[in-house]
Structures are given as C-alpha cells and as structure tokens.
Structure 1
Amino acid sequence: MLRYLLSTLSIALLLSLPAQAQQATIPAFSELESLGSDYGWEPLIFPNIDQHSRYELVTEDDQQVVKATTGGGASGMIARLALDPGDSLILRWRWKVSNVFEQGDARRKDGDDYPARIYVAFRFEPDKAGWFERAKRRTVSALFGEELPGNALNYIWANRLPEGELVPNPYTDHTMMLAVSSGQEQVGEWVTIERDIVADYRRAFGAEPPALVGIAIMSDSDNTGESATAWYGDITLSRN
C-alpha cells in the first residue's frame, strides 16, 4: 500500500486545483511569456524526489520551445485540462533528445526513465473500479487531501522498447507506456508525433476514455541516474 501511495501521489496534483483552473486547450510553448501557472503550465513535483529536472523556454531552430534537462532527478510540467475526448482526439507534438538512456527499460522499475515523455491523464471512474482500488484512493484522499486521476497514457522516447510497443508501467497498471520514438536513430533530430488518444486508450484499456484532466511533459532519470536534454515543441489537440 505504501509503495502505491508514493508512486501515485505525485500525479494526484493533476486534480488538486479547482475546476475553474482547468482549460480545454493546451497553451502553446511558442507563445508563452514564461513557464508557470499564470501561463497555463506549472511544475509537477514528486514529493519523494528531491532532485528536479529543469525546464526553460529557449529559442531552438528559430522557434520558442521548452528545453528540459535531467541528471538523476525527476519532475515535470503540467497543463490541466477538462475535455471530453469524444470519438477521436488527435494529439500532435514534436520533440528532440540529446540521447537515450543506456539503462532505460520500460518493463523494469529501475529502468523507468525517459529523456522525453508526454503524460496524458484521464478522470477516475469509480463505478468501474473494484472495492480495493476505491479503498486505496480513499486512503490517499484521507492522508493527503488529494484526489487521484484514473488511467493514463505515457507516450515515451524509449530505449529497448520497440516503436509501437505498449506495456504496463512497472509501478502501476493504471498507466500504459507506448513507445512512439525509440532508440538512437533519430537522436538530435526533431521528430513529429501524431496520435489518436481515443484509439490508443481503447487499445490500452479496452474501454472508451473518460474526460482528460491533464497533459504533462517530463524528462526524468531518477531510476537510472543518467543525464539527457530534451526539447519540446508545441503540443496540440484537434478533432481531425
């Protein structure tokens, strides 16, 4: 139970703000004056990890993007959403990484690090959860005053996991890891990704997705202790 609480408390922050703080679109990095809650993105800090990744707005190839640097720590940046995905919802972004992690392995807890990932969180559906799951969530709420989101998709730049492979997160099967980039071949290059998150959710969880509650970027290396730099371009959602 304690391991579950520690591994899932961090993502509870996705739901910790009042509903009016949520939005239906993702603020574009290219148009931001600064990173922070006043501009629609805010830090995702892990309560049991002291060393954080660094995120900053930079100009890269004549475009303002977010540069993320990680070296043995973990943290992210979140945009909180309140959006019904409908029958199809296309997530588009571009990213670039300096390297992949030699010890990275999406199937192992000690390899659960990525130079770049996009985290898509969905609202919890209590009517579809078992008694034990509801009890764990009540414990989190009672101890920490937070509500946890439900299932999540992680789009990752993997090392060993082949592109297109989908596996459960080694810490929780409520998060599924999908390798949309993999290996060294495109390191140092901008890569554009487009995913239908409704189709991916159906494949991952065998059900229709509930409302989105947040999108996060994260570059983390707390398990492997390695270092990497990533660049994230604008992230968009569209119905076509």
Structure 2
Amino acid sequence: MRYLTFAACLALATPAIAQPVPFSNGWAEQRLQLFSSNDYSFGSDLGIVSEGSVSLAWTRVARGQWGARNAAWGWRVDQSVPATSLAQKGGDDRNVSVYFVFLPEASAAASEGANIRSLLGNDEVRIIQYAWGGNHARGQMIPSPYGPAGQGATIALRQAGTGAHSESVDLAADYARAFGGTPGALVGLAVSADSDDTNSVIRAALGAIDLR
C-alpha cells in the first residue's frame, strides 16, 4: 500500500532553508524485528504506512552537513496510534519519530562507512529523537528506554493524533539539555513509525529535512 505524496497534502509549508535532505536517494529501511516492516514510499518526501509493525528508514549525512545545528521539516498524520508513554519500553508506539545521530568529530571519519546497526552499537553515539505520539507535553524530554543509559533522548513534539504541522528545532540546545556540552558531527538521520504494541495503523508523511 502506498501513501499520497506529502507535497500533495501538506497545508503548512516548511520555510526554505539551506541544505534540505530529500528522501529520493540514499535512504534504506532497517528492520528492528525479523517479521515486522513498515511500508515507506521514498521520493522528494516520505510516505509511511505502518500496520502493527515497526522499522526504521535511515541515511548517512554528507560530510559537508556534519556541522548542522538546526533542523526543520513538515509532517502529516492521517491515521494515528493511540496515546502511549514514550518512556515505556515495549509499549511506546508513536506515529513518527525523527532521529539525529551524533558522533564526536574525532570518531566521525572512522565511522563514515558504518551502517545504522553499527552506529547504534557505538558507545560514543548520542541520539536525539523528536516524536509525534505519546501523551507528553510539548518539549518534554524523555530518556530513551532503549540502549545504554545516557545515549538517547526523546523530545515530544506532538501528542498522538492526526493533523499537519511544520517543526523547527534547535539541535545544539536540545543536545546540551539532553547530554551536556556541544554536539559533535551529525552523521546520520533516521525516521521510524511504531504501531506493533497497540496493533494499530499509521498513515503519515514527512517532508524533506532541512539542515543548517
């Protein structure tokens, strides 16, 4: 099943800024469970259908964009999971999450060819995840219940539900709030939809991610 393109249905346009990352090339799906997979439609935008499933779409960030400290995108949800707690491991379904993967500058070049599983297994990696889903207040930071403590943080942007919105985030400020200090190199981006715990259906779309 394929989803209508984001450009055709999003009413709120994301302001144009430098260095957009479209979904037309360089993205791949990474399954998180052997028999569970979302349906991603890759193009200038990303269509997502998740039917009782979970997986990631991910890409490496070009070296020239490793220094990005802000990001913006537009997203739309037409069918939503129920509200969950994003702090609950194994019960944290959400419509869409956008992940920003950082490594220290000194380690980024050595890991340039690593896949997403290798990156997620690297103790030096730090991950900020912005989520549409759950029952949390906007801006609330939730430590990730997955992976080593202190490696990942979720920031709630939208509670579970439908609609169309544009977002603009300060990666440097959120990194400092989550981990302290300043971010290293932004080496990867990922997008997920998660409906397996509630056995529900997500229909969503995400516009190109603008980095600056």
Compute the TM-score of the two structures, normalised by the length of structure 1.
0.67
Percent identity between matched residues is 26
Between Structure 1 and Structure 2, which shows a larger proportion of strand residues? 2
Contact 1:124 1:151 in 2 (8 A): no
Aligned to 1:122: 102
Among 41, 44, 54, the alignment partner of 1:56 is 41
Aligned to 2:27: 41
Taking the aligned partners of 1:90 and 1:124, their CA distance within structure 2 comes to 17
Give the 3-state SS of the residue equivalent to 2:90 in structure 1: helix
The correspondence of residues 10-21 of structure 1 with structure 2, limited to 5 A, is none
Note if 1:230 corresponds to 2:200: no
Aligned to 2:57: 77
CA 1:124–1:225: 2 relative to 1, 3 Å = farther
Q: Bigger radius of gyration, 1 or 2?
A: 1
Aligned to 1:91: 71
CA 1:107–1:126: 2 relative to 1, 3 Å = farther
Contact 2:83 2:133 in 1 (8 A): no
List per-residue Cα deviations over 1:71-122 (Å, max 9, x = no partner).
1211121120144437xx2100000112432252101113222111101111
List per-residue Cα deviations over 1:161-204 (Å, max 9, x = no partner).
111100101223311000111243xx1x3200000101110011
Contact 2:83 2:135 in 1 (8 A): no
Give the 3-state SS of the residue equivalent to 2:45 in structure 1: strand
Among 148, 161, 165, the alignment partner of 2:136 is 161
Contact 1:85 1:198 in 2 (8 A): no
Contact 2:102 2:188 in 1 (8 A): yes
Aligned to 2:21: 27
CA 1:84–1:115: 2 relative to 1, 3 Å = same
Q: Which runs of 4+ in 1 moved over 3 A?
A: 124-127
TM-fit CA distance, 1:224: 2.6
Give the 3-state SS of the residue equivalent to 1:56 in structure 2: strand
Give the 3-state SS of the residue equivalent to 1:199 in structure 2: helix
Note if 1:206 corresponds to 2:168: no
Question: Partner amino acid for 1:121?
Answer: V
Taking the aligned partners of 1:112 and 1:205, their CA distance within structure 2 comes to 22
Aligned to 1:132: none
Contact 1:53 1:75 in 2 (8 A): yes
Contact 1:101 1:113 in 2 (8 A): yes
Aligned to 2:80: 100
Q: Which runs of 5+ in 1 are unaligned?
A: 1-24, 33-38, 59-63, 128-144
CA 1:109–1:26: 2 relative to 1, 3 Å = same
Indicate the RMSD between aligned Cα atoms, in angstroms.
2.7
Among 152, 167, 170, the alignment partner of 1:193 is 167
Taking the aligned partners of 1:94 and 1:126, their CA distance within structure 2 comes to 32
CA 1:207–1:223: 2 relative to 1, 3 Å = farther
Note if 1:171 corresponds to 2:151: no
Aligned to 1:181: 158
Question: Partner amino acid for 1:56?
Answer: S
Q: Which runs of 5+ in 2 are unaligned?
A: 1-18, 108-116
